[in-house]
Copies of this chain bind each other. A is one copy, B any other.
Amino acid sequence: MAPVGSKKGILERLDAGEVVIGDGGFVFALEKRGYVKAGPWTPEAAAEHPEAVRQLHREFLRAGSNVMQTFTFYASDDKLENRGNKLTFTGQQINEAACDLAREVANEGDALVAGGVSQTPSYLSCKSEDEVKKIFKKQLDVFIKKNVDFLIAEYFEHVEEAEWAVQVLKATGKPVAATLCIGPEGDMHGVTPGECAVRLVKAGADIVGVNCHFDPMTCVKTVSMMKAGVEKAGLKAHYMTQPLAYHTPDCSCQGFIDLPEFPFALEPRILTRWEMQQYAREAYKAGIHYIGGCCGFEPYHIRAVAEELATERGILPEASQKHGMWGSGLEMHTKPWVRARARRDYWEKLKPASGRPLCPSMSSPDGWGVTKGHAELMQQKEATTAEQLRPLFEKADAKH
């Protein structure tokens, strides 16, 4: 295990042409394990149930992750207080606990710690640049105190807010990555991926890309458009992608949030390990060298990325001791027709059935055509009331 301090930094690795493997999304994985509540999606588990968060970090490390992202998604104070969400820990406690856990596990292997900030309800509610930046700074103070290795501004629907975040993060002198949760159609105000990327690089981001909201192939396509934009502008950057582990061919510009299945019926869309290997290959071929995941990723998905790129990285992850490449573990299966599946072309060609003959293969996305600044998106600290819900139910029903 590498001694602390001796590790190469994120930019050193990327500059050297190395592949950096990210981790998966913690909120979805820990929701399934019983430690995160869908709806608020806040990360109090870092303080409340550190053993669960530590275990998930460890699984991603074993699977090949080179980055432990602090579990601080939506850990800004304004988000923690949203719509009746009650917490027994302060934002500072949560952020600090998350940093300690990430560092502890990073030290068990060849991984860096990245502190992350994400979009704020304050921006959607049209607060000023100063107010929004103050929120980022508050989280950042913890990251600096805990001395994370680099910073990530992630999950932004509007490039403007992401620029503000990058500016704040950049001031620390640490390397800065910035990822929007957009697809090929661009941000919520219609700024194209290429233009978004240029603006983020100009704001100071060393690494740009996308995370969440869309499936792997869509994200690779979007980052390719970003790369083309940056190169056309004569700028330089590294590229990253941390997509969903869900197939989303039916998404509109706002991504999987708008799918009727979000967030409690996405199961049929989960990618197989073989589809993840395809994603890793396509991302690598597109010149994207920071390859990770977001919502829906389980440790075995990250292991698939690491296995696909084992030659390029010169290493197999620890967890591959428990996995035969391309299904070769099945050579040990009792039944001969299952042993016959122990090979690459079997799994590459398979079109997996859904097992749900009464269900369709695509959905029509919801979405009421509103974004930042619209009254319906204003933040509210108190719990939503039944009176507030009724018209929403009616509006939704009328659309179906």
List A residues at the B interface (Cβ < 8 Å): 31-40, 51-52, 55, 58-59, 62-63, 82-85, 121, 124, 215, 246-250, 257-274, 298-300, 303, 318-319, 321-324, 327-343, 346-347, 350-364, 366-368, 370, 376-377, 379, 383-384, 389, 392-393, 395-396
Contacts and interface: CB of A to CB of B under 8 A. Distances in A.
Given A52-B59, A121-B334, 18 more contacts: A33-B298, A34-B59, A34-B62, A37-B321, A39-B332, A39-B333, A40-B329, A52-B58, A247-B356, A249-B355, A264-B274, A267-B267, A268-B356, A270-B270, A337-B368, A353-B363, A354-B361, A357-B360
14 contacts: A32-B298, A34-B323, A38-B323, A38-B324, A39-B333, A215-B355, A247-B355, A261-B350, A269-B356, A334-B379, A336-B395, A352-B356, A353-B362, A355-B362
Given A83-B332, A272-B264, A336-B392, A300 B352 contact: no
B300 A340 contact: no
A359 B351 contact: yes
A337 B265 contact: no
A262 B330 CA distance: 10
A331 B298 contact: no
Nearest to A83: B332
Given A356-B354, A358-B364, A299 B33 contact: yes
B33 A340 contact: no
A337 B399 CA distance: 11
Closest 3 CB pairs of A and B: A39-B329, A34-B319, A247-B355
Contacts of A323: 34, 37-38
A382 to B, nearest CB: 11
Contacts of A338: 257, 262, 366
Contacts of A347: 264-265
Contacts of A331: 39, 83-84, 383-384, 389
A26 B257 CA distance: 31
A352 B269 CA distance: 9
**Most B CB atoms within 10 A — which of A215, A366, A367?**
A366
A32 B272 contact: no
B55 A51 contact: yes
**Most B CB atoms within 10 A — which of A37, A82, A250, A352?**
A352
Contacts of A327: 38, 264
Contacts of A58: 51-52
B59 A332 contact: no
Nearest to A85: B332
B363 A332 contact: no
A390 to B, nearest CB: 10
Contacts of A363: 353, 358
Contact of A32 (B263, B300, B343, B367): B300
A363 to B, nearest CB: 4
Given A272-B265, A368-B336, A355 B37 contact: no
Given A336-B376, A350-B260, A300 B31 contact: yes
Contacts of A350: 260-261, 265
B269 A355 contact: yes
A224 to B, nearest CB: 20
Contacts of A330: 38-39, 263
A354 B354 contact: yes
A355 B246 contact: yes
